Amino acid sequence: MSNLERHVKNCQSYGVPVIVAINRYTPDTDQEIDTIVKGMGQLGNQAVPCTHWADGSAKNLWCLKSHL
């Protein structure tokens, strides 16, 4: 988590909005995903789970479109 936080803080230093796309895989637990979402929320960022690896990109375009 500290590595992700550092990357996010670096991006924030440029004044651009940061959205973290979480590559959610089958073995990932809800608790793991919640930890990332909450951690990014504490930094003022949104984190969203994405399953494009399993569902294909078309089912995950909402993620991109909702933030443009």
Is residue 5 very low, low, confident or very high in pLDDT (cuts 50, 70, 90)? very high
**For 61, left (φ over 0), alpha (ψ -120 to 50), or beta?**
alpha
What's this model's pTM, rounded to 2 decimal places? 0.77
Inside any domain, residue 3: no
For 9-68, write each residue's pLDDT tens digit. Answer: 999 999 988 889 898 888 999 999 999 999 999 999 989 888 877 777 776 776 666 666
CA triplet 14, 50, 52: central angle to 5 degrees? 115
Inside any domain, residue 43: yes
Inside any domain, residue 8: no
- Split into its structural domains, the chain has a count of 1
Per-chain mean pLDDT for the chain: 86
Inside any domain, residue 52: yes
Q: Find the domain containing 29 and state its range.
A: 20-68
Whose tokens are 């909402």? That residue is 62
Q: 22 near 33, Cβ under 8 Å?
A: yes
Please give the pLDDT value at position 56: 75
32: how many CB neighbours lie within 10 A of its CB? 13
